[in-house]
Amino acid sequence: MRPCKALFLYQVYALNNVYKHGTTNAMSVESTRREMLGRTMTSTFGGIVSSSGWIAPDAAVAKTDNDASFASYQIFPDASAALDPSLQQIAPSDLNQILAMTNTDGGSGGALWLGEHHNSAKDHMLQADFVRVVHEQRQKKLGNKNGKMSVGLEMVQVQFQPALDDYISKKISAEEMKSRVDWDKRWSWSFEGYLPVFETCRELNIPIIALNVDSEDLGLVEVGGFPNLPRDKIQKYISDPAGFAQFASYPYFKTYVDYTIGPSYDLH
């Protein structure tokens, strides 16, 4: 479904009202997501975006830096015992170019993570505008073939991918999509809040990809762990077991699990 040369945007829960680009290696453990993010993180490249006030459509990601309604910063990590990273403000236009990944490996793309507060309308407006500006820049510089991108949704479980496909292809309405993905039961946060993202993807014909685990499979694991999940179910989520095992063996992955995923899971 997704070409090799593409950008994949993941829309997931943020530890704060920020948007991160890069690979996080470590983060101090605190009692809340805000405190966790407020401490420290290390990354190969980091960028955070902080917005204030209501963000109007088509205004969040401005054409010029003077019109931008957000501030952006590059994170300079500190892997020493002090764990004292620093920030340097960067122009929003420079951030947009970084997010579009048109200058990386010939524009081959990668993955960009967009964080959010689930109940924040302005977060979703900013996400939608990032999707639009990244798409515009990739199309302009790389063309239709190599400038493709997709948007991944934590909010929708993988079994409902056909409903997302039908929505993007304009076969069904947003309300029909909401019903078919069982939104009210399986996600529950305001569907209308996410409409700016959905409508932008539909308008620009950007595929949206279901990322969340099916509730039925999650229930099996909660009761009996991974051994309780049939092989065909495991293959649905892990298409490359050897590659996954190798990735999970790296100490960076364990650090990420211990300092980021674990505390976040406990807070849900």
Burial (0-12, 13-18, 19+ Cβ within 10 Å), 171: exposed
Reported confidence tier of residue 13, pLDDT bands at 50, 70, 90: very low
Long-range contacts of 78-85 (CB under 8 A, 24+ apart): 78/40, 78/42, 79/25, 79/42, 83/26, 83/28, 83/39, 83/40, 83/42, 84/40, 85/40, 85/41, 85/42, 85/46
- What's CA 34's distance to the chain center, in Å? 18
Q: Whose CA is closest to 262, among 33, 4, 19?
A: 33
pLDDT of 5 above 90: no
For the question of whether the overall pTM of this predicted structure is more than 0.75, the answer is no
Residue 109 pLDDT:
73
Averaged over 79-108, what is the pLDDT?
82
| Separation between Cα atoms, residue 107 and residue 100, nearest integer Å | 9
Sign for the CA dihedral angle at 73, 107, 240, 201 comes to positive
Q: Between 23 and 188, whose confidence is greater?
A: 188
What DSSP element (H or E) covers 176? helix 174-180
| Separation between Cα atoms, residue 29 and residue 62, nearest integer Å | 35
Task: Classify residue 238 as left (phi > 0), alpha (psi -120 to 50) or beta.
Answer: beta
Amino acid (1-letter code) at residue 81: A
Asked if 213 contacts 159 with a C-beta cutoff of 8 angstroms, the reply is: no
Asked if 110 contacts 134 with a C-beta cutoff of 8 angstroms, the reply is: no
pLDDT tens for 182-206 read 999 999 899 999 999 999 999 999 9
